Amino acid sequence: MRRKNDILLKSAFEECFADLLYFFFKDADIVFDFEKGFDFMDKELAELFPDLEKKGGNRFVDMLVKTYLKTGEEEYILVHIEIQDGAIKNFPQRMFQYYYRILDRFEVEVAALAVFTGKQNQKRPAEYRKNFLGTEIIYKYNSYHILDHTEDQLLSMDNLFALVILAAQKASLANQVSEFELGEQRLRIVRALIESKRYDNEKIRRFLFFLKTFIYIENPEINIKFDSEVKTLTGNENAMGIIEAIKIITLEEGIATGEYNKTYEIVKNLLINTDFEISKVAALANCSESLVEEVQEDLRLGK
């Protein structure tokens, strides 16, 4: 579930990237040229860190995004987002490695941001220091924890990314409240989203799908209430299209998840019972080598 939520959270960050910039940078309107859009550079990031992939680095949820500045020329910066929910050894050093590899490869300005999603007492380092015989490096980067703002503060921002952060808060505390209370918390986010009247049906549909799958509740009565509230808030005319679209996407994801789980088990059995190379296991299971490496890492960690 954690891996699935990491992917969902990354997708939400991408969907709301413009709002993310407004959330973290008060001068966003002055600095960024939003009309030119953004380029998400996952492939380039993976190429910069093949060593992390080999060590299970695909478990880190990273984003590298090319953004454009409001200048006469096509200047741009790269914003590196680090979503981290656990205690990782040498985390500041890793952030510094990202910085200098990106700078060396692209020779552009780099704005780095670490977003922490763990417990309230989670360490959230914001700098890397190295000092040896008079040679010193001090690298500082933006650091944020999803609990740095209260629910009221996030709701008052009228910002879609603030609602993503609020959803992340609720998901992190899900095992501490009943499903009924979790359902009510989820509905508060829905009301804030729709009552703002800032978003079209497509934006609402995509966010509600994220919300329903990220803050997952099994109780059908609570989910029926969720759909009913959406109907009331959006008006019957538009609600059915939104709700049906969510159901279709949820069904499609369920099928995809089922296929993934089957493939995962096949790969797991092949790794346990044979000494085949990664490439052969991937060929036999009809999957990518990265999935084989992921299962291999899980087995190593005893998962």
| pLDDT computed for residue 23 by the predictor | 95
Burial pattern 33-61, b for ≥16 Cβ within 10 A else e, equals eeeeebeebeeebbebbeebeeeebbbbb
| pLDDT computed for residue 147 by the predictor | 92
| pLDDT computed for residue 148 by the predictor | 94
| pLDDT computed for residue 57 by the predictor | 42
What whole-number distance in Å separates Cα of residue 88 and Cα of residue 48? Answer: 20
Q: Which of 8, 14, 60 is nearest to 41 (CA)?
A: 14
Tell me the whole-structure pTM to 2 decimals.
0.73
| pLDDT computed for residue 4 by the predictor | 60
User: In which residue are the tokens 């300005």 written?
Assistant: 109
| pLDDT computed for residue 278 by the predictor | 86
Q: Encode pLDDT of 222-276 as tens digits.
A: 888 888 888 887 775 454 444 454 454 455 455 445 666 778 888 888 888 888 8
Q: What are phi and psi of 40, to 5 degrees?
A: -90, 120
The residues of the chain scoring below 50 in pLDDT are 1, 53-59, 237, 239-243, 245-246, 248-249, 252, 255-256
| pLDDT computed for residue 231 by the predictor | 80
